[in-house]
Structure formats: C-alpha cells, structure tokens
Structure 1
Amino acid sequence: MKAIIFILSVLFITNSSAQKFDCTSKTSEYQELFKANKIAESYDVWYSVFKNCPKESEVIYTDGIQILQYKIDNAPSAEEKEKLVREVLKLYDQYNKNYPLSTPDFEVNKAMVLVTNKIEAKEEIFNLLESGFAKASKNVTDANTIYTYFSIYCERFNSGDKKITANAVLEKYTLVSSLINQLQASKPESKEYKTAQRAIGNLIKDVATCENLEAFYTKGYADNQENTDWITSALISLSGKCSTKPIFNTLAEKLYSIKVTAQSANFMALGNMKQRKFPEAIKFYTESAELQTNPTEKAKIYYTLATGLLANDLPKSKECLNKALAADPKMGKAYLFLSQLYANSANDCGKTDFEKKAVNYLAIQTAQKAGITEPRLKSASDKAAKNLESKSLTADEISKAKMNGKSLNIGCWINETITFPAK
C-alpha cells in the first residue's frame, strides 16, 4: 500500500511540474529576446522550451538552429565551437524525429552545418550527403549544397577511391545537373544555378570527354527513353563541343517528341545547326524564342539568330533585333549590331550622297541608344558613333538641304524615318 502511495505521489509531483512549465509563455519569452537581437540571452529560455516542449512547434527548431549558430560564431575556442556544432546536429535529429515530413533532407542540412563551420569530418560529411541525396535529392534547393556534394564526390574519385568509377561520376553528374536544371527552370531569374552548373561542369571536364559522354548516354538511353529529366541533363552535358555526336540528335528528337518547349526546341535548333541544316535550325530557334517565357532568354535567342544564322538576311536580322529589344529593352548590344547593319548598307540604301550620309546619321543615333539603355556599353557606343562621324551629315549639310525640323524616309530594307533637329 505504501509503495502505491509513493508511486502516486511521484506521478503527482511530476505532473504538477510539467503543468507548471508554460510552453506558450516561455516560447514567447525567448522569441521576444530573439527578435530584439538579444540572441545570447535567449538561449537558456529557448533550451528549456526545447527540453520541456519538443513538440510545441517547429519554430522551436528553426529558431534553435539560428540561436546555436550565433553561439558557434562567437565561440571562444575551436573545442567549444565543435561542441556547439554537434548540438546543432542533435537538434536536426530531434527535428526530424518530431517533424519528419518537414525535414526529409535533414542529413544534407547536417552535412552543410559541418561544411559551413569548417569542421574537419570529411568522411562524416560525405556519408551524410550520400545518404541525404539518396533519400531526398528533390528537396535540396541550395545551389552551393549541390555543388559541394558533387565536388566532394569528384575529390574522392580523383584521390583514387576504388568504389567510385568514372561511370559513377557521370551518373552523379547527371543527377546533380538534372537537379540544377529543374531549379533553374523554376527560378529563371536566379543566377546562382547557372553559376553552379558551370562550376559543376568544370569539375568533371577531364572525365566528361565527348567519347565518355557519348558512350555513357548511349548505354543509358534504353532505360531512360521517357525520363525527360535524364534526357535534358544529358543534352545539357552534350551541348557545345559534343553536340555533333549522333546521340545528341537522338536525345533532342526524343525530348522534342515528348514535349515541345522552348528548351526542347532549342536543342533541336542546335542539333540541326551542327548538321549544317540551317533552314531547320532557324525554324527551331524561332520556335524556341516564341515559346520562351523568360524575357531575357527570349531576347538572347533572337539576338543569336540576328547576329548568326540571319546576319546576311538584313530584313530578318533587323526583325529579330527588334524582337530582342521588345523582350529586353536594355539589351544595348542589339542597338550596336543594328547600327552596324545600317552603316554597312549606306551605299546600297541611299540614292543620293545626302541619303547615304543620312543612313550613317541614323546609324549614329542607333549606336548612341546602346550607351543610354545599357550604360556599361557607353564606351563602345561612343566609339561606334565616332567612327561614323566622317561619313555622316553635318549640321551645315542639313541646313543647306533645308531639312531642319523635317523628316526623311529611308526605304530599302531599313524602312526608317529620320527627323532632323530644327536648328
């Protein structure tokens, strides 16, 4: 009987103690300190909430990570710093235990805590990243994290790790390249993914020879014919110096047949251009530009067409340059190229000496727009205008022709009207 009374007493005391700890008010208390930037002072209260109310809210964990990181940044010694880093890792484990749906990539986050805080634990970092990416690669959105994972993988390969073959590196490259490509598609305005993609490509350049890539993607194609992410990643890898390989065209045609997009049309354009099928390349580049929803990328495609495949078709080149400027009004280089086209056609489009000089007058005005719309091009803009001055109309010539305040239409393919100043 005494034993039962004792147990009940203990339970009562424990329960009373639990009831006395007010999770809500204590959470508010540490958060007020935290928001007031009194981060060090908030630690003790936060820790008591973490210990007593582990399932109160996810915010306890997200705040805790920041509070502990503050303490890490201000740790008095390397030993204290690593001890605190280990506390963050435990916090991530507890976070995942209580909120698994919110933390599928917790192992990746743990690895990056070690990396960010420069803790020497290469094997541990690698194992965490390997496990984390295997379980939740789709949840990783940080470009630097993806690059870090691949760079560590390549480092192990280069150091002679027998478990990692050249094909394994290419497989991993396909994975991370696919992730970056998907993230870039979702945030086309972001520059971090493009930077990461280039950096990842540099890491693998010695392994990713055209011969290795061709063999790897040819072999993997049979198992990935409907996997658009895999195909897209392969095409990105092959673009450029390896786009002449037959597998590039096979993959481009397959991706285009599955879904017509700005990207798949662009791959088709590149493939046809490499085969010197220029009319087809123009058709697909035009389609890619029309389908492109990112104004900057749309402008780039039109500019590439205007200055490349259509450079000798003056009316179409101008049309593409105007479309590029409509998409991106700040593309100064489009004005510079258009100015050069005008200047080169002065003798062909001007019937009289005055008209020929008027074409160069228009070319100068066009060149000057480059420096206005894109200030970094002002030097190039001024130079282009200066080079045309001797071939252009002077104020006296305009006055003698009684054209002050009047307009002159330049026909030919240019089809522009010049309005001269009143004085």
Structure 2
Amino acid sequence: MKTRLTLILAALMVSVNLSFAQQDEECMNNLQIFSEFAKKKNYNDAYQPWMAVRTKCPKFNRAIYQYGERILDDKIQNSNGAEKVAFINDLLLLWDQSLEYYPQYYKKGKVYGDKAQLMYDYKKELKLDNETVYKAFDKAYTEDKDNFDNPKGLYTYFSVMVDLFDEKKRAVQEMFDKYDDLNDKVETEVIKYSGLLNPLVEKEEAGKTLTDKEPSYKKSYESYLNAYDQISSGMERKLGDRANCEVLIPLYERDFEQYKTDDVWLKRSVNRMYAKECTDDPLYIKLVKAYDAAAPSSDTKVFVADLLMKDGKESEAFKYLEQAYSLETDPIKKANRAVKIGITLKNKGRYAQARTYLENSLRLNPSNGRPHLLIASMYASSANSCGDTNFNKRAVFWLAAQEAEKAGRLDPTLRGLSEQSKTSYEAKAPSKSEIFQEGNSGETINISCWIGRSIKVPNV
C-alpha cells in the first residue's frame, strides 16, 4: 500500500512538472514571437502572442511590460469608441501589474504619474472630472515624490489644480502652496541634472573628448533641463493674474498673524510678492522683516538688501548681498545667487562687480549660459565709453558677440536667444570694408575701462 501511494505521488509530480514545462515552453515561444514583432514596431501582430504570455505567465519576463506599453499605446492610437477606452483601461491595468510583478524595476512615482497623465490625456473618453485626475497625480506626488519627476506630468498636475481653483473647488492658498511645492521640486531636479551635466561641459570646454556614451548622456541632461525651464515658465503663465497684488496682499494680510513665525510660509509669501512686483506695499516690508527674524539665511539677506536699495542705502545693501552669497553652500544654488546679485549690480551700473559675480556663477554652474548673455549686454552697453577711437569702441561688440555665443554653446535652452544676440552685436561691430580701411586685420585690440579685455580683429 505504501509503495503504491509513493508511485501515485511520483506520477503526480511528473505530471505537474510536465505541465509547467509545457507552459514555460508555450510562454517562451510566444515571448520570442511578440518580441520579434515588437522590435520591428509591428505591434498589431505582436498583440495576440503578447496577450497569451501576459495571461498565462504574468511573471515570466519583464519584456511583457516593457513591450506591452508600446503595444497598447499603438492600439490606443489606432482605435476608436469603446474599443479605444478598453485599450486605455488595459494600459492602466498593465502599469499596476508592472508594479505588482516587477517592483524592483518600476517606481511608484513614475508609474502613478504615467497613469495620471494618461487619464488626463483621455479624460473625455474615460468620462473623468478634474477632481479624479488631480487625485491620481496627487497619489504619485505624495507616495513617491522623488520618482515623480516627469516634466510634463509635473506641469499637468499644477494645471489641473488651477482648473479646480477656477471651478471653485480649491482655495487660492491651496493653489499657491501647490505652485510652491512644484517649484521646489523643479529646482531639485534642475540641481540634479546641472550637477550631472557640468562635468561634461567642463570636459568639452577643456578640449577633452567625451567617451562614446557621454554625448548621449549630455543630450539627455540638456533635454531635461530644457523641459524643466519650459514648465517653470508654463506654470507661471498658467497662474497668471490669479496671483496678482490685488489677490496676494489681502490674503497675506489676513494670515500674517497666524504664520508670522512660520519660515516656510514667510519665504513663499515674500517670494510671491517679489515675483509679482508687490514690493511697494508696506506688507512686503513686514513680511521680509518677519522672514529674516524667523530664519536668517541667504534668501532673507537678498530681500533685506532689496529693501535697503529702495531706501537708497546701497552700501549697506551690498553688504547684505555679499552675506547672501557667502552663506549659500550648495554649488548650484550659490551659482543662482551669484546671478541674482550680478543682475542687481548690473542694474545699478556696477559692471565690474557684476561681472565678478557672474563669472563666479559660471565657475560653479558652467552649463547655465545666462551669465554670458548678461556679461555680453554689459559689454554692449559700454561700447561707447570703452575705446579711444570710433573703431575701437565698436570693436567692443565683437567681444559682446563672443560672450553671447558662449551662452548658446553651453546652454541649449538659450540657443535661439544666443544666436539672436550674437547677430545683433556683430551687426554693430566694424564691417569688413572698415577693417580694410583701418588696415588692422588680425590685430589685437586692448579694450580699456572696466572691461579690461582684448579682442582680435577678424581677418579679411
């Protein structure tokens, strides 16, 4: 009896193993078939074998989810009506399954963000309201903010918040808070990608050759920085007049007593008032003083300096600006601080000091080309006063053009403006005929005054 039972169990084990082996073989065959079709972008023929593997062996291979997204996206693009809705819902399900079966490869922030974006893109087809879509984005942000970093998703998240405000389903302070939250997130991402890009920029500027993979990395980092720059300006446009002085001043007046020691609230209030040019109102002064008292920092010193400038106390103001720069420790933030100080000095006509801060910024964050454009504009503004002859004065525009060209070479977000500025400056420089008449082709001109640089006359 015991021997018979053992034989029966052995037979069952063989049967089970054979069943799994057959299943594995079937799934492997279908995996190979749909993979080959998908690689050739023949998603229609890939669909059936892909569905067979996904249904029978959902944990069989990560390719089910990598190619599955493309297959379903193709189905969505090439279908209509109820069939289209079914494919959209199936893609939402696929993303959930990717997290369930391969959590080591898929992050909640990215998956939830992609789901929310798809829900927004097909809001009409899915019959969804803004509240439902917003909650989907909010899930990505609150559950895994670090990995919710898609620029388009971040912008859409804020855009839906503004739509809810317009529908009177969100308070104005909630909208401002979300704007500030996402601005902070964007700043974090810009710092991250600038830190990755800068060594590659410095390597190229030093005349060294990038490795085989580094050009693609560089292009990717530049693309992300360009996207984050666009969504920052896009969020500001979306906010628009919903954050004008008529809205901000009564709001912050109402809440001041409650939050007058809350450094986060004060920082955001001061930043918003400053950005919307509400700085002439007495409330702004009250906010700045409270912010500096609650949490003295690099930021607060800049705002105090701004107040001193308004009172005509420039010398005292510049001391605060120097403190603001020295207090900042993060290289990218310090570079940004140097730019703001440089702009303040530039606006006051202190070009030499402004250039020092702008050049410091370039050393800290060489992939940000904006300082080059600012330096170029100061050179151009000084052309009439830097030079002993008309020719030498106009030669300053060559220097300005060179500086403007650097901006576009280093910073892809500024290529259009860089080329436009360069062309404008070159048009104001001496022409080929004037160089010929002057007889100084190829010579070096030393530019005097605060500029203290030299420029080579183009060969003609």
- TM-score calculated relative to the size of structure 1: 0.71
1:86 aligned onto 2:86: no
- What percent identity do the matched residue pairs reach? 19
CA contact (8 A) 1:147 1:196 kept: yes
Alpha-carbon displacement from aligned partner over 1:32-90 (angstroms, at most 9, x marks no partner): 33223232222222222222322334443232122211121122x22211110111112
Q: How much is the aligned-residue C-alpha RMSD, in angstroms? A: 4.6
Number of corresponding residues: 388
Distance 1:120 1:268 in 2: 51
* Aligned residue number for residue 211 of structure 1: 249
Alpha-carbon displacement from aligned partner over 1:150-194 (angstroms, at most 9, x marks no partner): 222222232233xx3233333333333332232233234512223
* Aligned residue number for residue 198 of structure 1: 233
What is the Cα deviation at residue 343 of structure 1? 1.4
CA contact (8 A) 2:301 2:321 kept: yes
Q: Structure 1 residues 404, 90: CA separation in 2 closer, same or farther (over 3 Å shift)?
A: closer
What is the Cα deviation at residue 223 of structure 1? 7.9
Q: Structure 1 residues 53, 408: CA separation in 2 closer, same or farther (over 3 Å shift)?
A: closer
Alpha-carbon displacement from aligned partner over 1:286-345 (angstroms, at most 9, x marks no partner): 664997548995885475245312x1x465456567768886599356345324324135
Distance 1:223 1:18 in 2: 66
> Which of these residues, 164, 174, 178, is aligned with residue 180 of structure 2?
174
* Aligned residue number for residue 142 of structure 1: 150
Query: What amino acid is aligned across from residue 338 of structure 1 in structure 2?
Result: Y
Q: Structure 1 residues 421, 160: CA separation in 2 closer, same or farther (over 3 Å shift)?
A: closer
1:16 aligned onto 2:18: yes
Alpha-carbon displacement from aligned partner over 1:204-259 (angstroms, at most 9, x marks no partner): 3444333156348746746854x6xx7765554343214561324543675653xx
What is the Cα deviation at residue 366 of structure 1? 1.8
What is the Cα deviation at residue 110 of structure 1? 1.9
What is the Cα deviation at residue 141 of structure 1? 0.5
Query: What amino acid is aligned across from residue 214 of structure 1 in structure 2?
Result: Y
* Aligned residue number for residue 341 of structure 1: 382
> Which of these residues, 267, 274, 279, is aligned with residue 315 of structure 2?
279
CA contact (8 A) 1:231 1:255 kept: no
CA contact (8 A) 2:325 2:334 kept: no
Q: Structure 1 residues 288, 74: CA separation in 2 closer, same or farther (over 3 Å shift)?
A: farther
* Aligned residue number for residue 110 of structure 1: 115
Q: Structure 1 residues 383, 255: CA separation in 2 closer, same or farther (over 3 Å shift)?
A: farther
CA contact (8 A) 1:321 1:338 kept: no
What is the Cα deviation at residue 406 of structure 1? 8.4
Alpha-carbon displacement from aligned partner over 1:345-388 (angstroms, at most 9, x marks no partner): 55xxxxxxxxx32xx322211213444535423552245337xx
Q: Structure 1 residues 142, 410: CA separation in 2 closer, same or farther (over 3 Å shift)?
A: closer
Partner-residue secondary structure (3-state), 1:122:
coil
- Unaligned residue ranges in structure 1 (runs of 5+): 347-355
* Aligned residue number for residue 165 of structure 1: 171
Query: Which one scores higher on RCO, CA 8 angstroms, separation ≥ 6?
Result: 2
Partner-residue secondary structure (3-state), 1:239:
helix
Distance 2:20 2:287 in 1: 67
Query: What amino acid is aligned across from residue 34 of structure 1 in structure 2?
Result: A
* Aligned residue number for residue 351 of structure 1: none
Query: What amino acid is aligned across from residue 237 of structure 1 in structure 2?
Result: R
Query: What amino acid is aligned across from residue 91 of structure 2 in structure 1?
Result: V
> Which of these residues, 149, 167, 185, is aligned with residue 191 of structure 2?
185
Partner-residue secondary structure (3-state), 2:58:
coil
- Unaligned residue ranges in structure 2 (runs of 5+): 2-6, 195-221, 406-417
1:307 aligned onto 2:323: no
Partner-residue secondary structure (3-state), 1:54:
coil
Distance 1:109 1:307 in 2: 44
**Superposition pairs of residues 8-87 of structure 1, within 5 angstroms:** 16-22=18-24, 23=27, 26-75=30-79, 77-87=80-90
Alpha-carbon displacement from aligned partner over 1:243-278 (angstroms, at most 9, x marks no partner): 561324543675653xx5xx7776665565456543
* Aligned residue number for residue 362 of structure 1: 392
Distance 1:143 1:420 in 2: 44
Distance 1:107 1:415 in 2: 55
1:380 aligned onto 2:418: no
Q: Structure 1 residues 13, 204: CA separation in 2 closer, same or farther (over 3 Å shift)?
A: same
CA contact (8 A) 1:96 1:104 kept: yes
